[in-house]
Structure 1
């Protein structure tokens, strides 16, 4: 097996990505501090409506919330969301849609699909079981991904190989089953039957993991298969392309 020089404990690129994503903010719903990669920033648009700020750069005060859908719904159901937002924004003249939680969830899905497409165009993402196996043997993989409807035997074999390679090199090669069916993943990547994929750049892997974990934390359990969300996703009229443009700008 040919070890890759980048696959060493705490490589510079991965360490730099970790430092950038590790600055903490305080969740307005729990009062607890957490890394920004685990939180979602809300901001006020020009019309005074609350929306997710994925660039994390919109002007004015922001309100950071944990990527925890059950927590968000619980606070909203008890009528405490407006008060928490008012304290964070130091303002009372704002509105937020009744389906804010759903909008955030759908945006997280769009953001992840757009992210994967960008990483593919940048040459950081490879697709196909055999290509993933070859990259693992060469010690070039940082993250292994599977479509939500991937056959368990194929996914388990790749995951086992990733664990074995990681142990031999003294690193952790993450594995994730995406809450996205192969059809949606294939459409996002412009590739037929995209079932297995891998990230070959540590910073790219960190970016994708952050998006996966935030979506997984905020998606409602019954929507994780992507079947119901797909309808809203298709109704957004090119929102994935908009998300990709936003990611490229930031």
Structure 2
């Protein structure tokens, strides 16, 4: 694994982009993306391709054995897929909750109106959204935020409209707009964790909620998922006390 990889010792406080792994009483390692499972846990800060390589080469098991101080550990070969599925489920559940609470908008016309009035905090598109619709809503958002010329686009999600529609309990959900600042923060946190993990390209940082001019628009706000990315969570983690010979960092 490369220098960006990190595994933090059990029960280290979670940080953005990290995923908790729980150690079951039978020695099985389980994904615990909501960090609610009882018992011992460890936090990882790698993306899916890196984790898959670590599992295949036995590096993850070795690092977790040292972190948990036991060799009675079984790492499922499909652990990375399980984590990706759990993160996607958590993100879609969050969208569904916000839809029930009435804190998000669907429908191009409603989103465009809110965007032009400067009320839009986040903008998401289905993977199969038409390019014309994406451009139209992005332009309206830039106008409303006084950010024309910034390239502000929102985020294209790696799921089609059928999946988004099921998650929100609505028909033909192609675009999603968040006009409530707290809801936008909740949604972006869960979506960013999922998008960061499924990689290999990290996701852009959440767009700031305040209006800003083109000269101050961040690069992370421009483009779609997988472009203009921030450093990953492994880079932002504190320097570890110990380093394994596999490249997995495990604090003592």
- For the Cα contact (< 8 Å) 2:112–2:137, is it kept in 1? yes
Given that 1:147 and 1:181 are in contact with CA atoms closer than 8 Å, whether structure 2 keeps it comes out as: yes
How far apart are the structure 2 equivalents of 1:67 and 1:126? 33
* Structure 1 range deviating more: 57-66 or 184-193: 57-66
Unmatched runs of 5 consecutive residues or more in structure 1: 1-25, 225-250
Residue number among 135, 151, 162 corresponding to 2:114 in the alignment? 135
List structure 1 runs of 4+ shifted beyond 4 angstroms. none
Contact 2:55–2:75 (8 Å) recurs in 1: no
Q: Does 59-68 or 178-187 show the bigger shift?
A: 59-68
* 1:204 and 2:178 are equivalent in the alignment: no
Change (3 A) 1:184 1:166: same
Number of matched pairs: 193
Alpha-carbon separation, structure 1, partners of 2:159 and 2:95: 12
- The residue that corresponds to 1:234 in the other structure is none
* Counterparts of residues 13-24 of structure 1 (less than 5 Å): none
Secondary structure class of the residue paired with 2:118: coil
Q: Does 1:97 align with 2:76?
A: yes
**Residues 156 and 205 (structure 1 numbering): CA distance in 2 closer, same or farther, change over 3 Å?**
same
- Quote the residue 1:77 is aligned against: 56
Partners of 1:40 and 1:66 within 8 A in 2: yes
134, 145, 164: which one aligns with 2:143:
164
* Residues 1:28 and 2:10 aligned together: no
Q: 2:194 aligns with which of 215, 229, 250?
A: 215
Query: SS in structure 1 opposite 2:172?
Result: coil
2:24 aligned residue: 45
In structure 1, distance between residues paired with 2:30 and 2:166: 27
- Which stretch has the larger CA shift, 191-200 or 212-221? 212-221
> Partners in 2 of 1:150 and 1:133 — Cα distance?
15
Name the CA distance, whole Å, in 2 between partners of 1:34 and 1:47: 25
Between the aligned partners of 1:174 and 1:203, the Cα distance in structure 2 is: 21
Output aligned runs, 1:116-155, within 5 Å: 116-155=95-134
Unaligned runs of 5+ in 2: 201-225, 227-252
8 Å contact kept, 2:161–2:172: yes
- Verify the 8 A CA contact 2:135 2:153 in the aligned structure 1: no
d(CA) in 2 for partners of 1:186, 1:67: 30
Q: Distance in 2 between matches of 1:88 and 1:57?
A: 19
Structure 1 CA distance for aligned equivalents of residues 98 and 77 of structure 2: 34
CA-CA distance at 1:121 after TM superposition: 1.0
Which of 65, 83, 101 is the equivalent residue of 1:86? 65
Give the equivalent residue in structure 2 for 1:227.
none
Equivalent pair of 1:143/1:173 in contact (CA under 8 Å): no
More helix by percentage = 1
Give the direction of change, closer, same or farther, for the CA distance of 1:119–1:174 in structure 2 (3 Å limit).
Answer: farther
172, 177, 180: which one aligns with 2:156: 177
Asked if the contact 1:67–1:215 (Cα under 8 Å) also holds between the matched residues in 2, the reply is: no
CA contact (8 A) 2:6 2:46 kept: no
Could you tell me the TM-score, scaled by structure 2's length? Answer: 0.68
User: CA separation in 1, counterparts of 2:189 and 2:43?
Assistant: 15
